[in-house]
């Protein structure tokens, strides 16, 4: 019986907009724990009454218009991101391993410089990029607003050619192959051989 009660949701009126939950003035259903531990103590939501719902009508109307404008801007951004390549130049060693790494913030900043309104939360990068090369990165605002872009990380100087036995995977990690057998060193004449007397000298 206790398990049934714990899954029952409660209705609350939002006093401010919460992403993926609702906008100010919305009446939403949430889990009791979420309401009790977060929404209610911080004043983000309260128990709805007709008077309170009415009082937030204008704010809700404004928030809804802002949300629609934001979505329209995001749709345009996603369209503009199609097949885009972002080039980033970074310092690295002779094997192309970066001194530092490329993060979500770096990609977001580069897109903003190109007048693409993409904040770092929309850059879905599983882990920082640590090697020069090309990478496919997902940009996602909402479930249906997503696009993949190419990140090209370039060295800030000419990199010496990598050894044939070294390869890097898609995440920039070094894959080491067994080294080729070293060529045998040329035989050298020992001092004793050089000083050994010849038949003519004997």
Mean residue pLDDT across the chain: 81
Determine the pLDDT at residue 179: 47
Strand partners, 135: 151
Strand partners, 87: 152
pLDDT band of 195, cuts 50, 70, 90: very low
Determine the pLDDT at residue 134: 94
Q: Is 88 exposed, middle or buried, given 0-12, 13-18 or 19+ CB atoms closer than 10 A?
A: middle
Determine the pLDDT at residue 160: 54
Judge whether residue 86 has pLDDT over 80.
yes
Q: What is the mean pLDDT of residues 20-36?
A: 92
Distance CA 24, CA 54 (A): 12
Judge whether residue 20 has pLDDT over 60.
yes
Percent of the chain at pLDDT above 70? 75
Determine the pLDDT at residue 189: 45
- Which domains are assigned to the chain? 2-78 (3.40.5.10), 80-176 (3.10.430.100)
> Does the reported pTM lie above 0.85?
no
Judge whether residue 1 has pLDDT over 50.
no
Determine the pLDDT at residue 6: 54
Three-point CA angle 132, 133, 136, nearest 5°? 125
- The alpha-carbon radius of gyration of the chain (Å, integer) is 32
Q: What is the mean pLDDT of residues 21-36?
A: 93
pLDDT single digits (tens) 114-164:
889 999 999 999 899 999 999 999 999 988 899 999 999 999 877 554 444
């Amino acid at each position: 019986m206790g398990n049934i009660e714990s899954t029952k949701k409660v209705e609350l009126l939002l006093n401010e907009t919460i992403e993926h939950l609702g906008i100010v003035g919305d009446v939403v259903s949430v889990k009791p724990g979420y309401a009790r531990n977060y929404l209610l103590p911080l004043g983000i939501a309260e128990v709805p009454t007709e008077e309170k719902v009415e009082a937030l009508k204008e704010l809700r109307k404004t928030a809804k218009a802002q949300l629609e404008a934001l979505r329209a801007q995001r749709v345009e951004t996603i369209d503009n991101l199609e097949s885009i390549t972002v080039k980033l130049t970074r310092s690295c060693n002779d094997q192309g391993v970066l001194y530092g790494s490329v993060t979500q913030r770096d990609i977001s900043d580069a897109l903003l410089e190109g007048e693409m309104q993409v904040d770092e939360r929309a850059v879905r990068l599983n882990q920082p990029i640590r090697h020069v090369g090309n990478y496919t990165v997902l940009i996602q605002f909402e479930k249906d607003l997503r696009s993949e872009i190419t990140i090209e990380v370039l060295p800030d100087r000419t990199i010496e050619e990598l050894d044939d036995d070294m390869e890097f995977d898609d995440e920039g990690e070094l894959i080491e192959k067994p080294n080729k057998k070293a060529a045998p060193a040329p035989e050298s004449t020992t001092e004793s051989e050089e000083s050994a007397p010849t038949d003519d000298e004997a």
